[in-house]
Structure formats: C-alpha cells, structure tokens
C-alpha cells in the first residue's frame, strides 16, 4: 500500500515534454548536424528493436514472416521512426500508442510501465496483434514512446470457421499494464496463459516484445543524454518538417484534379458471389492530397473487415509509395500533406463487433485502387494491379510426432506484381501489406510439420501482357502426410489484377485440391474453411499474376523471344497476346509476318468496359466481333484498342 501511495505522488510531478504543433510556419533554428545524427540514430534504434525482436521471437510468423512493426514515437504519439514489419501497420502502431496514452493519461503512466492491448478496433487489425507500449521518461518528463506490435500464432477463439463477430476470434485485451512501475502483472499473464492454445509460445513472444520496446526506450534516452533533450526533440521536429516539405514538393508535381477508380473484392465468404466495391476518390490540390474512402463498401458479415487505423493506413501506404518511398526514417511528417476521409463502418473502418480475422486482405486492394485512380495523372510513378493476397494456407491438427496440437501458417508463395513504365512486374513476390516477409524454407517446414511440398515454381503465362509485362504468380503444391484441418481465405479469384494503359490483367488467384493422384479440383472460390484434409491429399495455391502496362503490341519481339526461351510464356500467349507469328517449318518467330500482323492489329479499335471483371458476356461479344473481322483466333479488346485474348 505504501508503495502505491508513493507512486501516486511521483506521478503528480510528471510532465510532458513540450512538443511543437503538428504544422508550423515558424522556422526554428536547429543544428543541422545534430539533426542528421538524430536521423541516423533513430533509424538505427528502430532497426535494433526489429532485429532484437526477430532474433528472440518464438513464432515463425514473427521471425520469418516479419508480421510485426516496431517504432519510436514522440510525446504526442506521432511517429519518429518505424521499422517495418507490416507496411500497412504504419498507422496502427501510432494510433495504438495514442489510445494507450489517452486511456491512462499523463498522470496514469510512470517509469517502468509497459502497456499492452490487442483491441482490434484500436489497432485496426486482428486480435493476434498484441501491441506493447513503453512510455519513455527522462527523469519525470515524458519524452516519447517505444512501441511494438507482433503477431501471436494463436490468441484463442474458434479455428476452422468463418467467424461472424469479434467474440469468436479470441481473447480481447483492453488497454492494460503488463508491467506497472517495473512490477510484472502476474494476473494478466495467467489470463493470457489460460486463453491461448500454445501459451509457452505466446509468453516467449511477449518476452521478446518487452525486450524490444525496452531496448528502444533505452537507446532513445541515451540519445537525449548525449545531445540534450532540446537538441534531440528539435532535431526530431526538423526531420518531420524535412519529410513534410519533401512530400509536399512531390504532391505539387502531381497535376491538380479529382481522380477516381473502382475495383471489387470477390465476396466476404458469407454472401457468396456478392462483390464488394472498393471505390476511391483522390483529390490533388496544390501541395495537398485528399483520399476519400466514403464509397468503399460497408463492413461485411465475414471476417474481412479492418478498423479505421488500417483504412487510414492504406491511404498512407499509397501516399508514401508515391511521394517518399525510400526515405528514412518513416515518420509522421511524410503524411502531413495527406487528408483522409473515412466515415465509420466501411470494410476498412469497421466497428464492433465486426469480425476482423483477415483484416489484411482488403486494404491491399484499396492501395492498388488508389494507384489506379491517379495513374492518368502520374503514369510514370504508378504500377498496375498486383495479386494482393497473402495466399496463406492455415493448417492445424495433431502432430504425428508428439501428438500435440500444431498450427502451421503455410502457403505464402508470393505472387505477381504489376508492371510499371519502364519495367516488367516482379515475379513471385510478397503482397504489399507484407514487406520484408519471407517464405519458409521447404526443408524447414518438412522437418517440422506433416507435409511434403511437391512443387514450388513460377506460374507461366500468368502475368498480364503489356509493353511491360506483369510479374508471374507462383504455384505451390503441398501434400499432407497426416490428417489435419485445412483453411484458405484467398480473395481476388474473380477480380483479377488489372492492367494499365492497355496492359492486360494478370491471372487471378486460385486454389485447388487434389485427392490422391486424381485430377486437381479447382475451387470456385478461394475460401475453404475447416476442410478435413486426409493424409495423401494435396492443396495447390496458385497466386495471380500482375497486370501489364502499355499496349502488348509495343513489347519488343526480342523480349518476347527471351521470355519464350526461358519458358516464362507459351507460344500460345506469344501468338494470342502479342501478335507474334511463328514460322510453321522452323518454329522460330517469323519477323516479317509478325510486323505485318502487329501493324494491322494496331489499326483496329474496339473496347471492353471492365476487363478485370472478366465478364463472360462481354468476352463473347468481343470474340464475335473479332471473328467478324477475320483476325486470328482469340483477341482481347480493351481501353479503346484491340489486343489478343484467350491466351490465358
């Protein structure tokens, strides 16, 4: 009791370091050298937090998949530096820090506190995202926060089903203190232990997270000790101002205007086949950009919702990609020229009790749609649509070795990325919400889980044709060597990655099942939940290809020849999508005939409304039109030009 009284007294003297207002017109005089040293230092510190977490985390999903985000924040909770982790969690961590701060208030926090929450509507994501926050005090003064979100392999809740509310998704922890003035909250630990399936792993990850946030806090205090509080805080303010100035300059380079685009998600897994509109409006005026997500679909019954932090996160990710992609540290200043309009209860601003387990999927399509909207304004800076899916396969069951429950996050084969002006899209690369995420080595997975991988390769012909071709997706085929429960939650099977400026869409994502050695069964939807998989059965994940960029007829014959040589595309595609004519006898490209055909195709002009929707009726209509014009079989018409089709 005595110590409690004492700590209350202590709190009474706590104060917050003065921070400058978010936007300032006052030019403060800062030491440019100390500022640069602070810049280097905060990047190094957050990288250290990251490596510290990765090296000690228990879960493969933290170490290999890098499903985490760490950062340092100022006394207002604004981002000083973030190390990614999850690119789309750029807002979630800062919003969570702010929520923690508001919950306890300045007087409710003291040195030695470690705050914790997994409130899905604060983090904007799912309950697996346990977030820790350490308020950093220099003496009695709050000078900032150190924060860390990491994905726990399990947080309880129902497995193998489509959840319909947050309560079925696991343990919910409001903003709490796991350490109070340096003292561990044992009761909270017991509650966690009782509610998660693999407690030793959860507590291991928790320890790793605590070590990481404490490291960040310690380094930040060392920096202040070395250069003085005022110099460091002024330096941080100056870094944010630099980033802001830079971002504004880049926005000014975008022509003013209102840019809109729309795309669709397949369905929410409950109302099958009911498309969900992702409609964005981007307004550029002077040095400010506004992204309006009002017309994005309303929150859904299935678990594909995410919270406002994720919705805002999408806009910030897209904005950063376009304005300051490589700048470090990732900080609040970069985002100041961006305004976001996001009313509640949309799929990316869901409210309680919406289910959130697959929070990460829809935001990726929102990001791509923002690129699509601004493409006419800045054609050289955007990319065509990508596969936009993590493509996970989640398996659980009894391990044949020790009989214990195992949960395996498999899949993640990577997928095709959109082409851009000047370069083909990347092949088999992780989707945009996941940054430095790695796939798991086959040799590692097979050594630890009852699976055998039969094939892992590029998906030929899957990238959209174009002057620059979309990246190829990947195919991964995995056979069960014991019985387990199998789940996939794959989206964008129907709404395929779109092309830009005449580029073709890539192939959509796809899931197949093979029973023994029978032919593979293509699933009409990418969503398979709670399927008991028998030993000997296999699943096949086929990730989509990226959209193409520019008219395929402009792709140099040499490049097509090289793609053929390497087996990236088939002859059929070369003929059907690129207007290549082969010499019947030699099998080589007939250059003269190719030139002639390509010239003829360029002269034609027809259009399809929404090629990425692959509307069967429109395709039929187009084919009929082509047949009438006596053009070689199968051509694809889009964006006011004629392009080959039926190649894929």
Is 321 buried (19+), middle (13-18) or exposed (0-12) by CB count in 10 A? middle
How far the first Cα of the chain sits from its last, in Å, is 73
Least separation, in Å, of the C-beta of 301 and another protein?
A: 31
Least separation, in Å, of the C-beta of 320 and another protein?
A: 5
Contact between 436 and another protein by CB under 8 A: the answer reads yes
- Give the closest residue to 96 by CA, choosing from 67, 127, 122, 69: 122
User: C-alpha angle with apex 566: 560 to 567, nearest 5 degrees?
Assistant: 85
Place of tokens 């059907």: 576
User: Rounded to whole angstroms, how far apart are CA atoms 242 and 39?
Assistant: 11
Whether the CB-CB separation of 574 and 556 falls below 8 Å is answered with: no
Choose between 41 and 529: whose C-beta lies nearer to another protein: 41
When binding is defined by CB under 8 A, the residue of 191, 321, 377, 618 that contacts another protein is: 321
When binding is defined by CB under 8 A, the residue of 71, 87, 147, 337 that contacts another protein is: 87
Least separation, in Å, of the C-beta of 100 and another protein?
A: 23
Interface characters, 291-320, with another protein (x: CB under 8 A): --------------------------x--x
Choose between 359 and 568: whose C-beta lies nearer to another protein: 568
When binding is defined by CB under 8 A, the residue of 271, 272, 454, 620 that contacts another protein is: 454
User: Within positions 516 to 535, which residues make up the interface with another protein, using CB under 8 A?
Assistant: none
Least separation, in Å, of the C-beta of 532 and another protein?
A: 24
User: Rounded to whole angstroms, how far apart are CA atoms 106 and 92?
Assistant: 21
Residue 372 three-state SS: helix
Contact between 567 and another protein by CB under 8 A: the answer reads yes
Least separation, in Å, of the C-beta of 438 and another protein?
A: 4
User: Within positions 35 to 64, which residues make up the interface with another protein, using CB under 8 A?
Assistant: 35-37, 39-41, 43-44, 47-48, 51-52, 54-60, 62-64
User: Within positions 137 to 196, which residues make up the interface with another protein, using CB under 8 A?
Assistant: none
Choose between 126 and 479: whose C-beta lies nearer to another protein: 479
**Residue 283 bridge partners (DSSP):** 258, 290
Assigned token pair, 182? 């340096």
Least separation, in Å, of the C-beta of 391 and another protein?
A: 10
**Residue 541 bridge partners (DSSP):** 476, 511
Name residues whose C-beta falls within 8 Å of residue 262's C-beta, 6 or more positions apart in sequence: 277, 278, 279, 280, 369
User: Within positions 225 to 244, which residues make up the interface with another protein, using CB under 8 A?
Assistant: 238-239, 241-243
- Give the closest residue to 183 by CA, choosing from 114, 253, 97, 84: 114
**Can you point out the beta strands (E) in 374-465?**
392-398, 405-411, 451-458
Contact between 561 and another protein by CB under 8 A: the answer reads no
Least separation, in Å, of the C-beta of 444 and another protein?
A: 6
User: Rounded to whole angstroms, how far apart are CA atoms 130 and 148?
Assistant: 8
Residue 477 three-state SS: strand
**Torsion, CA 264, CA 510, CA 469, CA 647, rounded to 10:** -100
User: Within positions 337 to 396, which residues make up the interface with another protein, using CB under 8 A?
Assistant: 371, 381-383
User: Within positions 608 to 637, which residues make up the interface with another protein, using CB under 8 A?
Assistant: none
Choose between 73 and 371: whose C-beta lies nearer to another protein: 371
Choose between 192 and 208: whose C-beta lies nearer to another protein: 208
Is 533 buried (19+), middle (13-18) or exposed (0-12) by CB count in 10 A? buried
Piece of 104-112, 272-280, 447-455, 622-630 that binds another protein (CB under 8 A): 447-455
Least separation, in Å, of the C-beta of 106 and another protein?
A: 28
Piece of 161-169, 280-288, 434-442, 606-614 that binds another protein (CB under 8 A): 434-442
Contact between 441 and another protein by CB under 8 A: the answer reads yes
- Largest Cα–Cα separation, the chain: 96
Least separation, in Å, of the C-beta of 451 and another protein?
A: 10
When binding is defined by CB under 8 A, the residue of 291, 458, 478, 626 that contacts another protein is: 458
When binding is defined by CB under 8 A, the residue of 207, 522, 534, 591 that contacts another protein is: 207
Choose between 146 and 439: whose C-beta lies nearer to another protein: 439
Contact between 514 and another protein by CB under 8 A: the answer reads no
**Residue 512 bridge partners (DSSP):** 522, 540
Assigned token pair, 140? 């009695």
User: Rounded to whole angstroms, how far apart are CA atoms 316 and 333?
Assistant: 11
User: Within positions 247 to 266, which residues make up the interface with another protein, using CB under 8 A?
Assistant: 249
Residue 122 three-state SS: helix
Total of residues contacting another protein (CB under 8 A)? 92
**Can you point out the beta strands (E) in 87-186?**
114-117, 129-138, 141-151, 176-180, 183-184
Contact between 538 and another protein by CB under 8 A: the answer reads no
């Amino acid at each position: 009791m005595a110590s409690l009284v004492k700590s209350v007294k202590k709190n009474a003297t706590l104060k917050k370091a003065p921070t400058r207002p978010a936007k300032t017109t006052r030019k403060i005089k800062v030491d440019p050298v100390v500022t640069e040293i602070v810049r280097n230092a905060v990047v190094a510190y957050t990288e250290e937090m990251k490596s510290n977490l990765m090296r000690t985390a228990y879960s493969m999903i933290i170490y290999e998949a890098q499903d985490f985000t760490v950062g340092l924040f100022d006394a207002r909770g604004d981002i000083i530096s973030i190390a990614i982790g999850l690119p789309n969690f750029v807002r979630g961590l800062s919003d969570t820090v702010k929520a923690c701060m508001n919950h306890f208030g300045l007087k409710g926090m003291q040195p030695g506190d470690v705050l914790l929450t997994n409130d899905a509507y604060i983090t904007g994501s799912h309950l697996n995202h346990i977030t820790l926050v350490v308020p950093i005090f220099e003496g009695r003064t709050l000078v900032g926060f150190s924060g860390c979100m990491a994905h726990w392999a399990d947080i309880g809740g129902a497995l193998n089903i489509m959840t319909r509310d947050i309560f079925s998704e696991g343990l919910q922890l409001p903003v709490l203190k796991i350490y109070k003035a340096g003292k561990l909250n044992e009761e909270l630990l017991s509650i966690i232990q009782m509610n998660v399936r693999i407690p030793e792993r959860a507590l291991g990850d928790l320890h790793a997270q605590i070590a990481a946030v404490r490291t960040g806090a310690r380094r930040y205090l060392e920096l202040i000790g070395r250069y003085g509080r005022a110099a460091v805080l002024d330096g941080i303010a100056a870094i944010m101002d630099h980033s802001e100035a830079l971002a504004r300059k880049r926005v000014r380079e975008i022509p003013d205007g209102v840019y809109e685009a729309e795309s669709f998600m397949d369905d929410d897994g409950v109302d099958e086949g009911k498309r969900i509109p992702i409609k964005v409006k981007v307004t550029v005026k002077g040095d400010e950009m506004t992204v309006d997500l009002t017309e994005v679909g309303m929150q859904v019954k299935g678990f594909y919702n995410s919270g406002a932090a994720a919705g805002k996160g999408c806009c910030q990710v897209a904005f950063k990609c376009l304005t300051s992609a490589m700048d470090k540290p990732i900080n609040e200043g970069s985002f100041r020229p961006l305004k976001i309009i996001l009313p509640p209860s949309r799929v990316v601003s869901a409210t309680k009790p919406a289910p959130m387990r697959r929070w990460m999927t829809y935001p990726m399509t929102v990001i791509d749609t923002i690129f699509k909207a601004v493409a006419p304004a800045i054609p050289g800076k955007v990319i065509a649509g990508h596969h936009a899916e993590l493509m996970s396969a989640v398996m659980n069951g009894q391990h044949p070795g020790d009989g214990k429950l195992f949960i395996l996050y498999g899949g993640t084969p990577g997928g095709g990325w959109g082409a851009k002006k000047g370069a083909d899209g990347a092949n088999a690369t992780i989707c945009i919400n996941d940054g430095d995420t790695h796939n798991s080595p086959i040799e590692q997975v097979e050594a630890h889980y009852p699976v055998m991988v039969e094939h892992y390769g590029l998906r030929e012909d899957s990238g959209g044709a174009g002057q620059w071709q979309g990246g190829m997706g990947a195919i991964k085929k995995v056979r069960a060597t014991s019985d387990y429960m199998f789940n996939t939650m794959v989206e964008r099977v129907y709404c395929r990655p779109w092309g830009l400026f005449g580029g073709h869409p890539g192939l959509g994502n796809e899931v197949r099942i093979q029973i023994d050695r029978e032919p593979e069964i293509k699933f009409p939807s990418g969503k398979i939940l709670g399927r008991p998989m028998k030993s000997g059965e296999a699943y096949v994940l086929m990730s989509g290809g990226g959209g193409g960029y520019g008219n395929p007829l402009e792709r140099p014959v040499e490049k097509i020849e090289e793609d053929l040589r390497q087996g990236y595309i088939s002859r059929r595609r070369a003929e059907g999508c690129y207007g290549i004519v082969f010499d019947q006898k030699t099998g080589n490209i007939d250059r003269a005939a190719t030139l002639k055909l390509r010239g003829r195709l360029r002269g034609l002009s027809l259009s399809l409304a929404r090629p990425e929707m692959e509307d069967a009726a429109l395709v039929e209509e187009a084919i009929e039109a082509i047949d009438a014009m006596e053009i070689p079989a199968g051509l694809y018409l889009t964006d006011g030009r004629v392009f080959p089709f039926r190649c894929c």
